């Protein structure tokens, strides 16, 4: 019978928890705590609004929001990749927001046309080459990754990863499904090994000589270069960035972003948080701490980001990526991209 009283106590505890005070904003996030907590602490300091967070996989959070419905305690969904943000919009868990501050700070390509979500930081998904074994102009486009001359020398992670899905979705948007599938088959044929590990693993593999070329997001490279570990910095120095398609559609760029939830109990606080995250201080922080590019124009880049030089980005509206996501996943399945 002790169990019963424990359960009862827990139930009472449970009913007490979701009671929301006025000065709160509840964030469901798929970003790592270390990358957002300092920002949230600063927000609390400035606004007096307390931030409570729950971090998990983006798909799981969207599912949880759907099931919780109008009783959901969440105010903000903060996640990476436009593909995830679009999926949240499609699932009906986000509401439209109008804010002059957000609209003037964030260029139209990096936010949902109807205001369901807003990009907060950007990263490019680009090609990296071994400085030792690959010349600076040996490769200059995503299309080259499918070229038979580089057979057996490419490292790229699994197709389960949303970053690859969005890269392929951007190609579908630009070249159509058929051409993209041919490209994907070429990429699979060029792989040095079955896809495994994350982006940093691909860069490490290039440095270690297991492959000559890799595809990764820019901030992973930035993290290696700015690392405290000597080994990591050595890896960073053995690979060089290749900005793809500079004479064509430009490098594939994606965002981390956020939207206010449909049933948000504190929408005003949620908006205040979003506006803070798009503000100059927070934008500079993204660049400083995680080597991401600010979405806001006029924020000075850090020395690491500046050292990579200027580049042209694909100017596709990112909501397109979400629309082609399912097609991209199926296409990669068919191409044998594990």
Partner 1 sequence: MTVALASSLPRPGADDAVRWGVVAASVAGILALPTVAVVAVAASADGSAWRHLVSTVLGEYVWHSVLLALGVGTGTLVIGTTTAWLTTVCAFPGWRALSWLLLLPLALPAYIVAYTYTGVLDYPGPVQTALRDLFGWGPGDYWFPNIRSLPGAILVLTLCLYPYVYLLSRAAFVSRSASAIEVGRSLGLGPMAVFARIGLPLARPAVVTGVALVLMETLADYGTVKYFGVTTFTTGIFRTWFGMGDRAAAAQLATALLGLVLLLVLLERWSRRQRQFDDAGAAAAGTPYPLRGWRALAAAGWCALPLLLGFLVPALQLAWWCIDTFGEQWRRGFPELMGNSILAAGITAAIAVFLALLLGYGQRLRPVPTVRGAVRVAASGYAVPGTVIAVGVIIPLAWLDNSIDGLARELFGVSTGLLLSGTLVAVIFAYLVRFMSVGIQTMEAGLAAISTGVDDCARALGCAPKAVLGRVLLPLLRPSLLTAGLLVFVDVMKELPATLILRPFDFNTLAVRAYELAEDEQLAAAAPAALAIVIVGLVPVFLLARGITRERRHA
Catalog residues that contact partner 1 under the rule CB under 8 A: 3, 6-7, 10-11, 13-15, 17-19, 26, 32-34, 52-61, 63-64, 67-73, 87, 90, 158-160, 162, 165, 193-201, 204-205, 207-210, 220, 229, 231, 235, 325-326, 329-330, 333-334, 338
Structure token digits, residue 126:
């680009």
- DSSP character for 3? H
What does the alpha-carbon distance between residue 97 and residue 270 come to, in Å, rounded to a whole number?
Answer: 10
> Closest distance between partner 1 and the C-beta of residue 270, in Å?
15
For partner 1, give the closer residue by CB, 89 or 296. 89
What are the b/e assignments for 298-336, b being 16+ CB within 10 Å? Answer: ebebbebbeebeebebbebebbbbbbbbebbbebbeebe
What does the alpha-carbon distance between residue 92 and residue 86 come to, in Å, rounded to a whole number?
Answer: 10
Pick from 219, 229, 199, 206: nearest CA to 304: 219
> Closest distance between partner 1 and the C-beta of residue 84, in Å?
9
> Closest distance between partner 1 and the C-beta of residue 34, in Å?
8
What does the alpha-carbon distance between residue 44 and residue 40 come to, in Å, rounded to a whole number?
Answer: 6
Report the run of H or E that residue 286 belongs to, with start and end. Answer: helix 280-290
> Closest distance between partner 1 and the C-beta of residue 152, in Å?
10
For partner 1, give the closer residue by CB, 70 or 137. 70
């Amino acid at each position: 019978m002790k169990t019963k009283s424990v359960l009862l106590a827990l139930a009472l505890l449970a009913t007490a928890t979701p009671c929301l005070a006025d000065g709160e904003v509840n964030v469901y996030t798929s970003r790592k705590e270390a990358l957002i907590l300092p920002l949230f602490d600063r927000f609390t300091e400035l606004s007096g609004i307390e931030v409570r967070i729950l971090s998990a996989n983006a798909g799981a959070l969207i599912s949880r929001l759907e099931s919780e419905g109008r009783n959901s305690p969440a105010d903000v969904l903060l996640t990476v990749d436009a593909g995830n943000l679009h999926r949240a919009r499609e699932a009906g868990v986000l509401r439209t927001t109008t804010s002059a501050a957000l609209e003037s700070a964030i260029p139209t390509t990096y936010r949902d046309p109807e205001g369901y979500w807003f990009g907060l930081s950007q990263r490019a998904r680009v090609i990296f080459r071994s400085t030792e074994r690959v010349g600076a102009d040996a490769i200059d486009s995503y299309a080259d990754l499918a070229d038979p001359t580089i057979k057996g020398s490419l490292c790229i992670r699994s197709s389960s990863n949303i970053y690859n899905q969005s890269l392929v979705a951007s190609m579908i948007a630009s070249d159509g499904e058929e051409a993209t599938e041919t490209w994907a088959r070429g990429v699979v044929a060029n792989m040095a090994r079955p896809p495994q590990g994350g982006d940093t693993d691909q860069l490490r593999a290039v440095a270690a000589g297991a492959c000559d070329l890799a595809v990764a997001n820019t901030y992973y490279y930035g993290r290696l270069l700015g690392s405290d570990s000597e080994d990591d910095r050595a890896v960073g120095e053995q690979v060089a960035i290749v900005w793809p398609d500079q004479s064509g559609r430009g490098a594939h760029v994606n965002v981390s972003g956020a939207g206010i939830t449909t049933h948000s109990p504190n929408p005003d606080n949620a908006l205040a948080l979003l506006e803070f995250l798009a503000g100059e201080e927070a934008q500079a922080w993204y660049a400083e701490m995680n080597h991401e590019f600010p979405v806001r124009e006029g924020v000075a880049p850090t020395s690491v980001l500046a050292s990579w030089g200027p580049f042209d980005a694909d100017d596709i509206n990112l909501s397109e990526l979400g629309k082609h996501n399912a097609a991209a996943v199926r296409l990669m399945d068919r191409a044998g991209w594990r």
